[in-house]
Amino acid sequence: MTERREFFAEWLVPINSPPIRGGGIRLGGSRILELLPPAVTGAEKFLPPNSLILPGFVNAHTHLEFSDLKVPLGFPGIKMPAWIAEVLRYRQAQAKTGDLEILRESAIRQGMSESTKFGVAALADISTKPWLIDIYKGMKLHVVPLLEQLGLAPQSVVDRFRELETAWENARGPGRQPQAGLSPHAPYSLHPELLKSMISLGEQEDALVAMHLAESREELQFLETHSGAFAKFLIDRSLWDPTQPTCAIDQCLELLSGTTRGLIVHGNYLQTRQLDWIASFPELSLVYCPRTHDYFGHSRYPLEEILLREIRVVVGTDSRASNPDLDVLAELRMIAEKFPEVCHKTILRMGTEGAAKALGLESQFGALRAGTSPGVLAIEFIEPIGDDPVKTILTGKIKSRFWLDRD
């Protein structure tokens, strides 16, 4: 019989309903049985002073394969093509030092462990070849692997799509249900026909599809004029020539709008009319990675414009290749710092309920509800929480974080 446990704290923060002062939670294993009103007895079930209970965080975008990095690649303010060159050097160095698959598996495991330590209950991981899907199985951290593919050469489109299809079939779970999503990498790294094929597969399978889009000025210059730093980067490595077609941002958005769920990753330089377009498709979400955005020195993120249009915007950590760690709460706190005019509850939803909705996980993650197993997290603060627990989550000094539904 599953052990039943009860916990009470100074505040219970369900996310999908108002915070409850002195509220508690009854668990059967990792499953929430009931949210409890303030307790008058059972003091032994109370968490330490200045503690609150909330659901585990949801990370809408990361690349766990870089989790072995101690510091980000490159330097603050580095341009995207130069940073990608650093990524290629890192991968080449890995290939020389040992079995690439073993090294990548180790890095992914490090990233899952780190995410759990920071209170992340679910995440979407961009999975690159050789697509190590089995590594995510049996973990307490829920991972949605997004199978990434790239390739600009027209002669490689058919072969690259076929190998992706094979990986997709291998990723099916019980009842042949898809256990993964798709990630056509970016318009500067994909032939338009390969992109269309991946989007079509996503539509057929009702799969989550994520694409890096409008991430940098260099990307926009390349797509609009076939010139600049990206063009030079690709030509120098014989990855592209000016006679080859590319997919414009507007075309990518139109393709993504046909998916069941689409993630526009970054979108740092989307134009006003493009935001208007996105707003008409509620199945699309924008993924903002605040600390990575800051690392590259991008222009101010258009968060106010996005929220004004009621576009779902959620947070991701991106990877340790551009971020010091995988802490979703640190991302939310940076938003609160940089956008003080944005409601704290709105910000918190970006890394909980909203992110779960974007990934198609809203039935289990992102909020405290009876009958679900969202990961039940406790945070203890150094100073009193006061009357606004959501503000404290985003600004208070943290003493510890710990799971209530796990050993």
pLDDT at 98: 72
Alpha-carbon gap, residue 405 to 407, rounded angstroms: 7
Q: What is the CA 226 to chain-centroid distance, rounded? A: 30
Q: pTM to 2 decimals?
A: 0.96
Q: What angle do CA 270, 274, 277 make, to 5 degrees?
A: 145
Question: What's the number of CA atoms in the CB half-sphere (13 Å) around residue 20?
Answer: 19
Question: What's the number of CA atoms in the CB half-sphere (13 Å) around residue 39?
Answer: 20
* Series of mean pLDDT values for 10-residue runs along the chain (407 residues): 85 98 94 89 77 98 97 98 96 84 93 97 95 87 96 94 93 67 96 97 95 98 96 94 93 96 98 97 98 98 98 98 98 98 98 98 97 96 97 98 89
Cross-strand bridge partners of residue 208: 261
pLDDT at 40: 62
39 to 9, 22, 50, 240: CA distances (angstroms): 9, 7, 16, 65
Query: What digits encode the pLDDT tens for the residues 262-300?
Result: 999 999 999 999 999 999 999 999 999 999 999 999 999
Alpha-carbon gap, residue 316 to 264, rounded angstroms: 11
Q: Domains in the chain and their CATH numbers?
A: 4-55+367-403 (2.30.40.10), 57-359 (3.20.20.140)
Angle between helices 80-97 and 229-236 (to 10 degrees): 30
Burial class (CB in 10 A: 0-12, 13-18, 19+), 200: middle
Query: What digits encode the pLDDT tens for the residues 173-208?
Result: 665 555 799 999 999 999 999 999 999 999 999 999
Alpha-carbon gap, residue 163 to 168, rounded angstroms: 9
CB within 8 A of 63, min separation 6: which ones? 125, 126, 128, 318, 319, 321
